Amino acid sequence: MKKISLIYSFLFFSLAAGLVTGCSYGVHEVFGRPDDVDKRTSSLKILNSSEVPASVYPDTFNILVFADIHFGKDDRTSYEEKLIQWIKDNQGNQYKNPLFCMCLGDIADHGLENEYKLYKAYTDKMKNETGVQLYCSVGNHDLYNSGWSNYIKYVYPYSSFYKFETDAFSFYSIDTASGCAGKVQYENLKKAFSSDPKKKIIFSHFPLYGEGDLYFRLQDLTERNKLIGLFADNNVSAFISGHTHKNLSTDFKAFYDLNYYALCVSGKALLFHINQTLKTVTWEEINL
């Protein structure tokens, strides 16, 4: 009886969530569509040298990382404008000025084209006023209302699964927006790692583990364990994610699983300091 009761409770809350959010987000997309991640990640896009920023300080550089800006959300705060001002204020500072910025997904709240246009206008403003390129990982909200077609139209570099390199580090953005990585992406990632000896930083929307947060982390235990093993064996320094709107971290010893606040709520970002000579990664919190 207890098992049946739990099943009914799950079905009730699932139906309620669908009814409450379906009109805004697309009822068939509220809980993700795991099969689509295989289509979105059928190949790894490798950015060429013209698509990758070059540091004026070859030994060290900084990366400004933030999560969940949710253009189109009613109760959001426009901290992203303060982010541009922060970059301007620190452009002469070797230890603060970012080589590039990374958003960890959920740039649109409903996946609608007008929300993506707001994001595109913002990235253009950042590039024009600071010279800093903004990259992005895809989030679950970005896919609502068939938002994938908008994502690949408006979000540089027009892929959810891509890689670029500096002298000593490789940066990978993976697609976890459906709550999983999928078999195709895992195999493509494994293949890419086999010929990439560099230190690696992985950007994602969903956290791997997030201190054991059951609902918001990647759900497939087998997949998550395989990814943890893959990262531990292939020089991954950090796995950085958003989605939870929390500040969570898990030390897997070989690498860190760092999960961070939503910018539109917290006004906080992370500044990563990369030392290519020592091959180290450290970070600090930026409070806007």
Residues 200 and 219 in one domain: yes
pLDDT, residue 49, reads: 86
pLDDT at 73 over 60: yes
End-to-end CA distance of the chain: 52
Residues 249 and 267 in one domain: yes
| Cα gap 182→29, rounded to integer Å | 17
Residues 7 and 73 in one domain: no
Instruction: Determine phi and psi for 165, rounding to 5 degrees.
Output: -130, 155
Strand partners, 89: none
Residues 48 and 169 in one domain: yes
* Residues found in the chain: 288
Q: What is the CATH number of the domain that holds 62?
A: 3.60.21.10
Average pLDDT score over the chain? 88
Residues 96 and 21 in one domain: no
pLDDT, residue 221, reads: 87
Average pLDDT over residues 45-71: 90
| Cα gap 33→39, rounded to integer Å | 11
Residues 107 and 19 in one domain: no
Q: Note whether 104 and 140 are within 8 A (CB).
A: no
Long-range contact pairs involving 215-219 (C-beta distance under 8 Å, separation at least 24): 216/243, 216/244, 216/246, 218/176, 218/179, 218/180, 218/181, 219/179, 219/180
Average pLDDT over residues 114-119: 98
Residues 37 and 5 in one domain: no
Residues 132 and 18 in one domain: no
Beta strands in the chain (DSSP E): 45-46, 60-66, 98-103, 133-136, 162-165, 169-173, 199-203, 236-241, 248-251, 256-259, 268-275, 280-287
Residues 12 and 69 in one domain: no
CA 230, 232, 238, 244 torsion-angle sign: positive
pLDDT, residue 225, reads: 93
Residues 1 and 107 in one domain: no
Predicted confidence (pLDDT) per residue in 9-44, tens digit: 444 444 444 433 444 555 445 554 545 999 999 999
CA 119, 22, 240, 229 torsion-angle sign: negative
- pTM (2 d.p.): 0.89
Average pLDDT over residues 231-243: 97
Query: What is the tally of structural domains in the chain?
Result: 2
pLDDT, residue 56, reads: 66
Q: Which two tokens mark 171?
A: 């940066």
Residues 179 and 46 in one domain: yes
Average pLDDT over residues 58-85: 94
Any residues with CB less than 8 A from the CB of 126 and at least 6 apart, and which?
Answer: 83, 84, 87, 101, 132, 134
Which residue in this structure is represented by tokens 């098992």? Answer: 3
Side-chain half-sphere of 21: how many Cα atoms within 13 Å?
A: 18
- Domain containing residue 11: 1-25
Residues 13 and 129 in one domain: no
